[in-house]
Amino acid sequence: MEEDDQPVSPIGQYLSSSVLNVTILVVFDSTIPVDDSHAISALENIFLPLNPRFSSIMVRDEDGVQKWRKVKVKLEEHVKVPVFPQGLEKYDECLQEYITKISMEPLPFSRPLWDIHIIKYPTSSAAGNFLFRLHHALGDGFSLMAALFACLKRADDPSLQ
């Protein structure tokens, strides 16, 4: 075990069972078309520093106790940009099917337990979407939502959050 390893909470240990797939799925609607060209730098400079668990994996020590271990995050493994069929005016059904599909897929424990899906297709309510999928072992919904909202700036006054 490494000195910097942090203990996994009891609820985090329970939720990391191989028979459970407990994730939090957050959907952000964008009023402007989504540009993914800044996604990697935003994740690296804004998202990862918010919580050390966003750049940690779960490991077991020699006694079988689970710990969080900091790792180098390969952001390209966490950013997904799906391709939907061309020619549709609105992509509501495609988005719903995609959300259903990813909500059923377990996150791999070999890397930090989150990913982001960048949807570049318009729906009836948005010009594009960002889907954050976070394993519940990272935290409760309230703390994870607070972290995600900390990444955002207000449209009417970007100096405020």
Does pTM surpass 0.85?
Answer: yes
Q: Which CATH architecture has domain 6-150?
A: 2-Layer Sandwich (3.30)
The Cα-based distances of 127 to 92, 105, 149 in angstroms read 11, 26, 19
pLDDT tens digits, 88-108: 999 999 999 999 999 999 999
- On whether the CB atoms of residues 152 and 131 are closer than 8 A, the answer is no
Residue 78 a catalytic site member:
no
Per-residue pLDDT reduced to its tens digit, 28-67: 999 989 888 888 888 999 899 999 999 999 999 888 889 9
The domains of the chain are located at 6-150
Say what the pLDDT of residue 66 is.
92
Candidates 78, 117, 135, 136; catalytic one: 136
